[in-house]
Structure 1
Amino acid sequence: MKKRWKHGVYVLIALAMLLIALPRISLTGGLGLVNGFGIVWVLFALMVIGANLHFLLGVDDEKRQALERVRKAKLQQWQLQLDKERGRSI
């Protein structure tokens, strides 16, 4: 929970940068070097916002819990398999 505030600040900063920059980026001149840079910059800012929102929404926590459930199920299967093999050898 302590680190979440940093991600909130990062989202706000990236949004502010995007809101300031978008009106200044002109796409009327065709696909030139300057316009290409502007497009790449906007895409990068959107990626930064998306990554921080991903963390803030707790998607990583859900994924981690799902992976933990899968890991426990596999361990239980392996344990059953080992117990079965030990029963045959005795």
Structure 2
Amino acid sequence: MARKMKAGLYTLLCAGMLIYAVPRLSIGNGWTQETLFGVIWICMVLLIIAAQLHDLLGVDEKTDEEIRKLKRYKYWRLQQRIIQQAERDRGNG
């Protein structure tokens, strides 16, 4: 839950930053350095907002669950190997 709150907060902060900055950027005066900076800055903020919305909407929840299951399985397999090795060592000792 904290992860979604964090993503929501970052989305709102970036949106506020975008609303505040866009009127102050000098865009539309030809391809000057200021225009290029403004376009790149806006694209970067929109990319950050898109990434936060992607996280906020939980697009990868199924993938995250599959990764958790795989990690649990690997941990279980490791435990089984350790138990088998301990049993073999006890039998030889």
Question: Which TM bucket (shorter chain)?
Answer: 0.5 to 0.7
Does the residue aligned with 1:40 lie in a helix, a strand or coil? Answer: helix
Structure 2 letter corresponding to 1:29: N
**TM-score, length of structure 1 as denominator length:** 0.67
Query: d(CA) in 1 for partners of 2:28 and 2:38?
Result: 12
- Of all paired residues, the percent bearing the same amino acid is 39
Letter of the structure 2 residue corresponding to residue 42 of structure 1: I
Q: Secondary structure at the match of 1:3?
A: helix
Q: What is the aligned-residue RMSD (CA, Å)?
A: 2.0
CA distance in 1, matches of 2:37, 2:62: 36
1:35-54 aligned at under 5 Å gives the runs: 35-54=35-54
Matched residue, 1:5:
5
* Pairing 1:21–2:24 present: no
What is the CA-CA distance between 1:27 and the residue it aligns to? 2.0
Q: Which residue identity does 1:28 align to in structure 2?
A: G
Aligned partner of 1:83 in structure 2 is none
Structure 1 runs of 4+ off > 2 angstroms? 62-65
Higher mean Cα deviation, 23-32 or 42-51?
Answer: 23-32
SS at match of 1:51: helix
Mapped to 2, the partners of 1:54 and 1:10 lie a distance apart of 12
Task: Give the SS at the match of 1:4.
Answer: helix
- Matched letter for residue 61 of structure 2: D
- Give the aligned partner of residue 80 of structure 1: none
Partner Cα separation in structure 1 for residue 58 and residue 38 of structure 2: 31
